[in-house]
Structure 1
Amino acid sequence: MVHPQALLTELDRAPEVAAFERGGEVTTRASVKDLIGRFTAGLRAAGLGPGDGVGIATAVTPEGFAAIVAAHVLGCRVVCVRAGLPVPQLRHIVEDVGALVVDEASESPELLGTVAGALILRIGPELLSVYEEPVPSGRPGDIATVVFTSGSTGVPKGVAFDYRALTEGRVWRAPEPGSAHAKLGAGFGRFLLFGTLSSAVMLEQTALCLLSGGTAVIPDGLPDFPWILPRLRVSAALMTVPRLHQVLDVLRAEDVDLSDLRTLIVAGSPVPPHKLAEAAELIGPAMHHAYGQTETGMLTVCGADEGAGSVGKACDTVEIEVRDADGAALPQGREGEVWVRTPSALAGYWRDETTTAEVLREGWVRTQDLGHLDADGYLHLSGRARDVVIVNAIIHYTGPIEQAIAAHPDVDQAYVVAVPDAHTGEAAVAFVLPVPGHSPDFDELRKAVAAELGEAAVPARFELVDAVPVAPSGKPDKAALRASVVD
């Protein structure tokens, strides 16, 4: 079986069940299968086949999803294009595609200008006039999709996955009974699908929804959390940590009916333990915390009431080791870099052999995250190996500093960044978002960091903020925080 055969089989299994819902319009699984067949015929007629690069720029629609699946049926290399990217990043992302599938909502002069010479395939009656039974023809070693990172640190990196990973990994096949994905999938009767189909995690969760027999519910416009959840009777949703903070702000002051919610997955960055405890209290057993990367997919998941302070245990098919700087495995309780092995992992970085060699080692992925495994197998993260402040040639990881500050009862969130310093090379600046109605004492925060990590780790400067900027990836925008204090 080759990807996406498992999905096609599921669509055939229950053809009358709703696959997508938007407003009053329902798209059944039979209709999605029909769209996939029509896209398959249209793309093949355009001369596309195994190994060809196809850009897909669409809104979040059943048609956009079907176009992605059809390109995979043909064995193409798919690049999903997010709306709103600056032209230099657009040009970098689509430079290797020979054809671009686009809908009316996503077509723009800027986008078309970056793919000069590429074949433009507009979604409409002409492209979808003929049906062909979709029979997957992807080759295991060919690249199936390239997912580009947000580019917040410069040029977006292309994370490439081959057809073997999509076929053998757990994401695009029916969940194994009793597995973490099966338990999550049981709550995906109505999954909130929003944002962009270029998001690897959103696309993966949509696959989990459909393969678990559920319906992907698409809101009109941007979702207004948390009110969108009861209004659309959502049972499962995915959100970033900044959005969780916004939801909790509302739930502290208002009653919102979350009785339909079964699974709320928060991912993208660590959730401080005190915040996770509050989320469990206000949201209930639906609250889940997940850890993963674009390069690997979801690695761990846990409910808010298990593995205190951890991000959970390894999902089925995932192996986790913590290693020292020389790559040697460390015993339980010892902190080091987190290495993982999973069939869902990337094949490499697109046209970047140097970074590929740094991250991929004999089938293992270096996450460049720091943490340790406890005696029960729960993974505890402490920071990013690259998220550091180098003061007087001594490396300080920002994650542990942020945790020490956020543990103070007057602090809601804390973020630490490195800024240039004429005397020490770099200095740490801490941005503190207080608990509403509270005013943290900076001297107390300094003492808390010193007690936990030593005087040398205490930030040189503290800044009180009433909001934290959010990057296009949905994560806290540390670059913007840094820019606010660097001349």
Structure 2
Amino acid sequence: MAFPQDLLDSLRRAPDAVAFEHGDRRVRRGEVLDLIGRFAAGLRAAGIRPGDGVGLATGVTPEGWAVQIAVQTLGARAVGVRAGLPAAHLDAVLDGVAAVVTDAELPEQAGVRTLPIGPELLAAHEEPVPCGKPSDLGWVVFTSGSTGVPKGVAYRFDALGEFGLEQRAGESAADYRRFLLFGTLSSAVMVLHAQACLLAGGTVVIPAGLPDFPRILPRLDITAALVTVPRLYRMLDVLREEEIDLSGLRALTVAGSPVEPGLLAEGFARIGPALRQGYGQTETGKLTVLGTADVAERPEAIASVGLPVEGVSLEVRDGSGRAVPAGVTGEVFARTARAFAGYWRDPPLSATVLADGWVRTQDIGRLDERGFLYLTGRARDVVIVNAVLHHTGPIERALAAHSAVDQAYVVAVPDERTGEAAHAFVVAAPGCEPDPGELRAAVAAEVGEAAVPASFTVLAEVPVAESGKPDKAALRALAR
């Protein structure tokens, strides 16, 4: 089935059911299908053809979602354009784009044709019929660019169709009766969760303002939502002080980075079986899931990111590329039909990550004999002190295990004496004041004296990047 045929069919099946709640506005599934047909006709009239790149610089609205599906229906390549990009990043994102559909003003230096969402683009209508070939690129999702120019993660239409198959098989209609959509439509994981909701026959709920977790969940009768790890930690801060009824919640997925085991256990206790930890990457989609049932059966799995989801194979390999036995640490490789095709216009970088149908995740970890995946760090999250390489993940875990520490983050900063030095930032556990001497001793006992950070800083909260993940670039700036 050609993508996005399954989504179009889902909208046709129940035209009077509500697809989107956008503040006080209700948009029925038949109306969304009509929007897709109007956008497709308007884009075709504007000269968009199969294979063209179309930038999408829209807010989180029903129209913003519908125009992406219209672009992909035409067999064109949808390219998300995140708001507020610096000029150099915007140039990289718009490389190869024929036009940008927008409901806002783009900087003049973008230098591409803009197609405003309005009467002219929506004047005509055509029956939406997917035109993309399975091997064509249908979506390019750009990374945040926190380590340089953003990378464009490119998906073929056949992989996009595989996401639909996974969602129909894995997400129940009850779980996705009402999914909370917020943030940006340039986020692959947010768009895919919204897609799962619509395929399940549910309603995508877009709040009028910034969501106030966890209070917004019962207020809007949300059954499914996605949160980053820092947002989960803030939710726990609230739940320690307030009694909030989360019994209607069916699926709260926390993703972006591993959750500290003690805080994940607290999350399971306070939020219940709706909470699940997901691990994946933009390049692969979802790879593993950990839920309360997994931990009840295997308590030590609380330190893992769970078991592979259907259609995913994982291997841990050593430095020479050979698979290692269970329990041995190495680099995690993943194989899935949902994997990306490569990085946009960057074959050399693609070749370093894609090999023989496998994706090199660049995450370090191990598999146990039951198949649970335990992550220990990123291949690139290292600090080299006196020519000795240390992964920051084990240092962070040693710090987070201390009773006075709620969260811990370690970054590498150039040092004139040792080449690089590790600097630690911790958020104190409620009512605690971490003692630097005790923290040094905890790291030394766990990973050795040579890995002890050069400094320890207590923060009220960790800075968060636009991606929703802890902002290690900001922490490096503080360390300097």
Q: Distance in 2 between matches of 1:204 and 1:87?
A: 28
CA contact (8 A) 1:7 1:173 kept: no
Q: Distance in 2 between matches of 1:176 and 1:158?
A: 27
Matches within 5 A, 1:220-231: 220-231=208-219
Q: Distance in 2 between matches of 1:264 and 1:248?
A: 13
Q: What is the CA distance between 1:349 and its match in structure 2?
A: 0.6
Q: Distance in 1 between matches of 2:415 and 2:40?
A: 57
Q: Distance in 2 between matches of 1:375 and 1:323?
A: 15
CA contact (8 A) 1:6 1:174 kept: no
TM-score (ref. length: structure 1): 0.95
Q: What is the CA distance between 1:381 and its match in structure 2?
A: 0.5
Q: Distance in 1 between matches of 2:408 and 2:220?
A: 33
**2:115 is equivalent to residue 121 of structure 1:** yes
Q: What is the CA distance between 1:305 and its match in structure 2?
A: 5.1
Q: What is the CA distance between 1:77 and its match in structure 2?
A: 1.1
**2:63 is equivalent to residue 52 of structure 1:** no
Q: What is the CA distance between 1:119 and its match in structure 2?
A: 2.9
TM-score (ref. length: structure 2): 0.96
Q: Partner of 2:348 in structure 1?
A: 354
Equivalent AA in structure 1 for residue 171 of structure 2 = A
CA distance 1:176–1:194, change in 2 (3 Å)? closer
Matches within 5 A, 1:405-444: 405-444=399-438
Q: What is the CA distance between 1:264 and its match in structure 2?
A: 0.5
CA contact (8 A) 2:20 2:27 kept: yes
Q: Partner of 1:198 in structure 2?
A: 186
Equivalent residues, number:
474
Q: Partner of 1:96 in structure 2?
A: 96
CA contact (8 A) 2:22 2:62 kept: no
Matches within 5 A, 1:368-379: 368-379=362-373
CA contact (8 A) 1:22 1:218 kept: yes
Q: Distance in 2 between matches of 1:341 and 1:217?
A: 33
Q: Which consecutive unaligned segments of at least 5 residues does structure 2 have?
A: 295-300
For residue 6 of structure 1, give the secondary structure of its aligned residue in structure 2.
helix
CA distance 1:143–1:133, change in 2 (3 Å)? same
CA contact (8 A) 2:168 2:200 kept: no
Deviations 1:202-255 (A, max 9, x none): 001001111111110000021111111111111111010111111111110111
Q: Distance in 2 between matches of 1:239 and 1:474?
A: 8
**2:232 is equivalent to residue 244 of structure 1:** yes
Q: Distance in 1 between matches of 2:225 and 2:31?
A: 24
User: Identity of counterpart residues, as a percentage?
Assistant: 60
Q: Distance in 2 between matches of 1:392 and 1:331?
A: 31
Equivalent AA in structure 2 for residue 84 of structure 1 = G
For residue 265 of structure 1, give the secondary structure of its aligned residue in structure 2.
strand
Q: Distance in 2 between matches of 1:174 and 1:135?
A: 22
CA contact (8 A) 2:80 2:141 kept: yes
RMSD: 1.3
Deviations 1:262-284 (A, max 9, x none): 11100001101001011111111
Equivalent AA in structure 2 for residue 288 of structure 1 = R
Q: What is the CA distance between 1:24 and its match in structure 2?
A: 2.5
For residue 226 of structure 1, give the secondary structure of its aligned residue in structure 2.
coil
CA contact (8 A) 1:419 1:429 kept: yes
Q: Partner of 1:283 in structure 2?
A: 271
CA contact (8 A) 2:414 2:420 kept: yes
Q: Distance in 2 between matches of 1:257 and 1:54?
A: 43
Equivalent AA in structure 1 for residue 224 of structure 2 = A
Equivalent AA in structure 2 for residue 38 of structure 1 = R
Q: Partner of 1:42 in structure 2?
A: 42
Q: Partner of 2:141 in structure 1?
A: 147
Q: What is the CA distance between 1:373 and its match in structure 2?
A: 0.7
Matches within 5 A, 1:379-390: 379-390=373-384
Q: Distance in 2 between matches of 1:115 and 1:481?
A: 31
Q: Partner of 1:172 in structure 2?
A: 164
Q: What is the CA distance between 1:176 and its match in structure 2?
A: 4.7
For residue 39 of structure 1, give the secondary structure of its aligned residue in structure 2.
helix
**2:30 is equivalent to residue 30 of structure 1:** yes
Residue of structure 2 aligned with 1:212, choices 187, 200, 203: 200
**2:133 is equivalent to residue 135 of structure 1:** no
Q: Partner of 2:297 in structure 1?
A: none
4+ residue runs over 4 A deviation: none
Q: Partner of 1:182 in structure 2?
A: 171
For residue 239 of structure 1, give the secondary structure of its aligned residue in structure 2.
strand
Q: Partner of 2:154 in structure 1?
A: 160
Q: Partner of 2:469 in structure 1?
A: 475
Equivalent AA in structure 2 for residue 333 of structure 1 = G
**2:247 is equivalent to residue 256 of structure 1:** no
Q: Partner of 1:461 in structure 2?
A: 455
For residue 308 of structure 1, give the secondary structure of its aligned residue in structure 2.
helix
Residue of structure 2 aligned with 1:107, choices 105, 108, 114: 105
**2:315 is equivalent to residue 321 of structure 1:** yes
CA contact (8 A) 1:289 1:304 kept: no
Q: Distance in 2 between matches of 1:281 and 1:174?
A: 29
For residue 172 of structure 1, give the secondary structure of its aligned residue in structure 2.
helix
CA contact (8 A) 1:90 1:114 kept: no
Q: What is the CA distance between 1:39 and its match in structure 2?
A: 0.8
